[in-house]
Amino acid sequence: MKVELRGIHKYFGVNHANDDITLTIPSGTIQGILGENGAGKSTLMKILSGFIHADSGEVLLDGKSVVIESPAVAIHDGIGMLHQDPLDFPPMRVIDNFMLGQKGGLFPNRVRAARDLRRLQKEFDFDIDPENYVDSLTVGERQQLEIMRLLYLGARVFILDEPTTGISAAQKDKLFETLKKFREQAITVIFVSHKLEDVEKLCDQVAVLRQGKLVGAMDKPFNQKKLVEMMFGKEVPLGTKQTVCQDRTVLNLDRVSIEGMRLKIKDIDFHICEGEVVGLAGMEGSGQDLFLRACAGLIRTVGGVVKVNDRDLTGKSYHTYKKHGVEFLPAARLEQALAPGLTLAEHFILAEKQTGVFINHERGRRLAEERIKTFNIKGAPVSPVESLSGGNQQRTLLSLLRHPLSLVLVEHPTRGLDIESVVYIWGKLKERCKQGAAIVFMSSDLDEILQYSDRVLVFYNGRISHPFDANKTNVQQLGELIGGKGWDE
């Protein structure tokens, strides 16, 4: 199916998220959409799949103008969207998920659906048990299920939002194979990503968005250097690693034990010095999140002693830790760290030391303007935080950190951010280190861990490795430990 976008505009408040986007995707093409965070990719895809409406502009499918009122209308018109986190129902069976969205009478025809599911599985060489529950599937399998479901609903245009995040290499290969098969069936694929390598490998043509505008397009073969230039406007230098020599211990854990819902971690001995960065590697849910939260006083430890700046804070609440210069930055920014509905200025007022009873709004506004400038946040003092893009929300979080700090605990400091934001955010974090703060962060990106940490801890199923010197280890060694190899019993 041929997809044409004509003059799409979308505003969020003052933010011009899509600025006159015009793009034609011929039938059976794999179209890559590149751009940094906040460039307007997600907005454009949400418009195309009916989640939000364009302020002006036109969408044509096979030359016919369509009005996409809702995701239901989108799928009726043949547009299916595969979200980064699959929008399925984990407590339900595979077959029930597969049948969702189907039109038809009161009683669904399970037998026919099961037969069709088998046929599709065979066609694409997938292997999912229809009677299994979705919560037992891997992200890759859930993706496969979504693809089949959308096909079954008659999708002729597939939008995939960062589909290669969180799936295995084998699943990625299979996904790419599937998408290439789509090409033969004249199904159009729109592939949204910030991974250049994936885009190069898969796409027939690429469009690049920057600050809401379509800044360039390229056909195969791609010139990687030029694509990066189009995305960021300039070549981004990678941050340099530096190790500050230190002696003062900021945080000390002495035989600390933690009990989570599913996981127990026993007898942790750990310390971190002023200016040091420690990265926590491991599969999601191996205990890193518990470790970080225990270091912040957000969960109670069940044994051992936690000391911050040589003061025993065992069993104290996060607010006590905060008083001693500890800050925790969660991965779910809008859910856990920012208050949607309040403005940037109000966040700064809340985070600052408050004197008196009445708010000095003027001071709040000045403070916000100053931080917006220093931290390069795309927004105004009166912008509600939820109107900012992910990268700008993360910058806001960093700009809310107080001075001075002893310890910053960060979950996924750069997840979902573009390279420029990554470099920027690490620049700001390293600045904190130079001022004497220690940083502990978890990440699923091994390159990030190796590049920015001084020492690395690997987590596996509630066990913690001894600290590795980041200069002396490598992806291979850490990768094996993460996968469960090399742990002595």
Q: Which residues in this chain contact another protein in the complex, by CB under 8 A?
A: 11-13, 55, 318-319, 322, 328, 330, 335-342, 346-347, 349-351, 354, 356-359, 400
Q: How far apart are CA 432 and CA 189, in angstroms?
A: 43
Q: How far apart are CA 172 and CA 74, in angstroms?
A: 26
Q: How far apart are CA 77 and CA 188, in angstroms?
A: 13
Complex with another protein: residue 393 or 414, whichever CB lies closer: 393
Do 9 and 19 touch, CB atoms closer than 8 A? Answer: yes
Complex with another protein: residue 98 or 321, whichever CB lies closer: 321
- Which residue type sits at 94? V
Complex with another protein: residue 261 or 357, whichever CB lies closer: 357
Residue 35 — left, alpha, or beta (φ > 0 → left; ψ -120 to 50 → alpha)? left
The Cα diameter of the chain in Å comes to 72
- Which residue type sits at 267? D
Complex with another protein: residue 138 or 354, whichever CB lies closer: 354
Complex with another protein: residue 199 or 408, whichever CB lies closer: 408
| CA angle centred on 185, ends 184 and 187, rounded to 5° | 105
Query: 3-state DSSP call for residue 140?
Result: helix
Cis peptide before 71 (omega within 30 of 0): no
The HSE-up count of residue 304 (CA atoms within 13 Å, CB side) is 21
Cis peptide before 221 (omega within 30 of 0): yes
Do 446 and 469 touch, CB atoms closer than 8 A? Answer: no
Shortest distance in whole angstroms from residue 402 CB to another protein: 9
Complex with another protein: residue 273 or 388, whichever CB lies closer: 388
Are β-strands 249-259 and 213-219 bridged in parallel, bridged antiparallel, or unpaired?
Answer: unpaired
Shortest distance in whole angstroms from residue 77 CB to another protein: 22
Do 48 and 6 touch, CB atoms closer than 8 A? Answer: no
Shortest distance in whole angstroms from residue 358 CB to another protein: 5
Complex with another protein: residue 9 or 195, whichever CB lies closer: 9
Shortest distance in whole angstroms from residue 327 CB to another protein: 8
Q: How far apart are CA 100 and CA 113, in angstroms?
A: 10
Shortest distance in whole angstroms from residue 165 CB to another protein: 25
Q: What tokens appear for 221 in the block?
A: 């073969």
Shortest distance in whole angstroms from residue 254 CB to another protein: 26
Alpha helices in 78-193 (DSSP H): 94-99, 110-124, 139-152, 169-184
Q: How far apart are CA 346 and CA 36, in angstroms?
A: 27
Shortest distance in whole angstroms from residue 293 CB to another protein: 11
Complex with another protein: residue 54 or 250, whichever CB lies closer: 54
Shortest distance in whole angstroms from residue 65 CB to another protein: 19
Shortest distance in whole angstroms from residue 152 CB to another protein: 32
Shortest distance in whole angstroms from residue 282 CB to another protein: 23
Complex with another protein: residue 65 or 336, whichever CB lies closer: 336
Query: 3-state DSSP call for residue 19?
Result: strand
Complex with another protein: residue 171 or 393, whichever CB lies closer: 393
